[in-house]
Amino acid sequence: MFEKVKTHRYGLLVLISLLLVVISFATRFFLLIASDGIAELSLLSIFEAFFIGFFFDLINATYFIIPVLIYLWLCPERIYQKRWHRYILNFILFFFTSLLIFNSFSEWFFWEEFTTRFNFIAVDYLVYTTEVIGNIRQSYPIEWYIGIALAFSALIVYQFRSWTSH
């Protein structure tokens, strides 16, 4: 059954959704480790946070894959079956994976600065974009983090290249 999903036209949607859930879980896990001693957390509250986070990740994945869904739905079969089209699918996977990994990095650094996940402060960052980007570029070697995110994304695309070949 897994092989059927992998080779199906919409299998890429499943892969991107799985990557979102896994990367979000890893982010949540590492932030939990980083928060050691900040709050008294019971095993039940940790389980609850991960369960609710998983639920929200599934909702987020639904929205996240909409552009890919529209592309795959509108792409004619004769184009979809072309050999060169796998490069487009690999680029789509690379792009969305890069976004997920960079977002994970961003959440980590936001956590280090404010000891919280993205919240209203992050919205302020969007409002004062020019000033904030300048501050971030002064404080962090952002080019290195983007490079690392792109390298991880390339490794993931290489690892899952069979999902984009027909």
Q: Write the pLDDT tens digit of every residue in 55-103.
A: 999 999 999 999 999 999 999 999 999 999 999 999 999 999 999 999 9
Average pLDDT, the chain: 90
pLDDT at 55: 97
In terms of Cα–Cα distance, which of 87, 82, 20, 107 is closest to 56?
A: 20
pTM for this prediction: 0.87
Q: Which two tokens stand for residue 47?
A: 């389980």
What does the pLDDT read at residue 166?
A: 65
Nearest Cα residue to 49 out of 28, 79, 23: 28
- Note the helical H segments in 10-141: 11-34, 43-64, 66-74, 77-80, 85-114, 120-127, 129-139
Please tell me which residue, 119 or 43, carries the higher pLDDT value. 43
Q: What percent of the chain has pLDDT over 90?
A: 61
Please give the angle made by the CA atoms of 166, 14 and 52, to the nearest 5 degrees. 170
